[in-house]
Amino acid sequence: METVTSLADLRTHRIRLREPVGLVPTMGYLHEGHLSLVHASMAQCASTVVSIFLNPTQFGPREDLNAYPRDLSRDLDQLGAAGVDLAWTPTAEIMYPLGFQTWVTVEEIASPLEGSLRPGHFRGVATVVSKLFNAVQPQKAFFGQKDAQQVAVILQMTQDLNFNLEIIVCPTVRESDGLAMSSRNVYLNPHEREAAVVLYKALIAASRAFKNGEHDAQKLRNTLIEEIHKEPLAKLQYVSCADINTLKELEEVSSGRALLSMAVFFGNTRLIDNMIIGVD
**Which entry of 13, 31, 34, 229 is annotated as an active-site residue?**
34
CA atoms of 153 and 110, how far apart (whole Å): 6
Our CB check for a copy of itself shows the closer of 34 and 123 to be: 123
Q: Determine, following the binding rule CB under 8 A, whether residue 134 of this chain makes contact with a copy of itself.
A: yes
Our CB check for a copy of itself shows the closer of 103 and 171 to be: 103
Q: Determine, following the binding rule CB under 8 A, whether residue 130 of this chain makes contact with a copy of itself.
A: yes
CA atoms of 225 and 23, how far apart (whole Å): 37
Our CB check for a copy of itself shows the closer of 99 and 190 to be: 99
Cβ 195 vs Cβ 233: under 8 Å: yes
Cβ 87 vs Cβ 4: under 8 Å: yes
Our CB check for a copy of itself shows the closer of 149 and 172 to be: 149
Choose which of 1, 3, 7, 278 interacts with a copy of itself (CB under 8 A): 7
Count Cα neighbours of 262 within 13 Å in the Cβ-side half-sphere.
30
Choose which of 8, 11, 81, 83 interacts with a copy of itself (CB under 8 A): 11
**Least distance (Å) from a copy of itself to the CB of residue 106?**
5
List, as one string, the DSSP characters of 196-231: TTHHHHHHHHHHHHHHTT--BHHHHHHHHHHHHHT-
Residue 93's CB is within 10 A of a number of other CB atoms, namely 9
CA atoms of 252 and 210, how far apart (whole Å): 11
CA atoms of 32 and 19, how far apart (whole Å): 25
Contact set for a copy of itself, span 78-107 (CB under 8 A): 99-107
Choose which of 3, 44, 89, 156 interacts with a copy of itself (CB under 8 A): 156
Q: Determine, following the binding rule CB under 8 A, whether residue 251 of this chain makes contact with a copy of itself.
A: no
39 is catalytic: no
Choose which of 4, 27, 152, 157 interacts with a copy of itself (CB under 8 A): 157
Count Cα neighbours of 166 within 13 Å in the Cβ-side half-sphere.
11
Our CB check for a copy of itself shows the closer of 16 and 230 to be: 16
Choose which of 29, 53, 88, 163 interacts with a copy of itself (CB under 8 A): 163
CA atoms of 172 and 163, how far apart (whole Å): 25
- Give the interface with a copy of itself as residue ranges (CB under 8 A): 7, 11, 99-109, 126-127, 130-132, 134-135, 137, 156-157, 160-164
What is the set of active-site residues?
34
